[in-house]
Structure 1
Amino acid sequence: MLSKTAEYALRATIYIAQKGTEDNKLGIDEVAEGIDSPKSFTAKILQLLTQNDRVVSSVRGRNGGFYLTDRARKLPVRAILEAVEEEEVITKCVLGLKECSETRPCPMHLQYKAIKKQLKQLFEKTSIQQLVEESNKGNLFINNQKAPKKRS
């Protein structure tokens, strides 16, 4: 349902919020590896997320890198989707029709209407910091790498 861009933008933002600080900025290599994403694709996504400090902040140079401010941590998840121009996922027709509405519904309109409302609430009411806190609790992950085997 989400585009690859939106998926990686969410993962990158969560990772940077978990691991980076203004004093310990993360480099592109670390972010790409941390979210199991190609470096060039991660760079393009971070470009979108850092425009005008919308979500992610960055500093260039030797001690540069990426981090989230306290203000950014309080942003709703929807801000990430907006930064990568993918917020339509929570507003558009599930079949991608331009004219889908109450008066001219697609075959899935009625069933998807309730789901779309829940998605909108999820993305608007959940903050980036809440996702970080949930991730830090334990068994949650944000990459496709296999978990390390437990030693007995």
Structure 2
Amino acid sequence: MFSKACEYGIRAMIYIGQQSADFGRRVGLKDIAAEIDSPEAFTAKVLQGLVRQQLVTSVKGPTGGFELTPEQLRTVTLKQIVVAIDGPDILQGCALGLPQCSAKQPCPMHFQFLPIRDQLNELLRTHTIGELAGKVHDGLAFLKR
């Protein structure tokens, strides 16, 4: 459903969030990529975009890395990450990718997909990185097997 970049971005943000909340530390790119099973260069590119959108903080230098502030942990939602990486079309567009799909000119899946798209929007809008990082911390969810 989401692009690979978006999947890596969400996983990276949850990992960074867990490390920031649990240990108050910044996390290096190599650690992030290893922990979420993603290519390092690709992860760097994804995280650069999230830094530009101010969804994650990056600090350069020997003690640098990526971190989430307490405010970011509380306020950054999955929807913000998805829109930053994949754009808003996945949350607004047609299930079949048609440019002119609407209630007046529906695609074959329009009316069945509408409630699913609305539920997805609600799920992404209401879940924060801090909440998901907490599930990893509590052992209720996992980023890597």
Structure 2: give runs of 5+ residues left out of the alignment.
none
Letter in 2 for 1:79: Q
CA distance in structure 2 between the partners assigned to 1:23 and 1:111 by the alignment: 44
Structure 1 or 2: more helix by fraction: 2
* Structure 1 counterpart of 2:77: 76
Report the CA distance between 1:132 and its aligned residue.
1.2
Report the CA distance between 1:98 and its aligned residue.
0.7
* Structure 1 counterpart of 2:57: 57
Letter in 2 for 1:78: K
Report the CA distance between 1:110 and its aligned residue.
0.8
CA distance in structure 2 between the partners assigned to 1:90 and 1:82 by the alignment: 8
* Structure 2 counterpart of 1:100: 101
* Structure 1 counterpart of 2:131: 130
Report the CA distance between 1:85 and its aligned residue.
4.0
* Structure 2 counterpart of 1:150: none
* Structure 1 counterpart of 2:5: 5
* Structure 2 counterpart of 1:29: 30
SS at match of 2:134: helix
Structure 1: give runs of 5+ residues left out of the alignment.
147-152
CA distance in structure 2 between the partners assigned to 1:98 and 1:28 by the alignment: 38
Letter in 2 for 1:120: N
Letter in 2 for 1:12: A
CA distance in structure 1 between the partners assigned to 2:109 and 2:48 by the alignment: 35
CA distance in structure 2 between the partners assigned to 1:73 and 1:86 by the alignment: 21
CA distance in structure 2 between the partners assigned to 1:60 and 1:113 by the alignment: 44
2:47 maps to 1:46 = yes
CA distance in structure 1 between the partners assigned to 2:66 and 2:31 by the alignment: 10
CA distance in structure 2 between the partners assigned to 1:125 and 1:100 by the alignment: 27
TM-score (structure 1 length as normaliser): 0.87
Letter in 1 for 2:99: K
Q: Does the CA contact (< 8 Å) of 1:6 and 1:86 recur in 2?
A: no
Q: Does the CA contact (< 8 Å) of 1:8 and 1:35 recur in 2?
A: yes
CA distance in structure 1 between the partners assigned to 2:86 and 2:107 by the alignment: 24
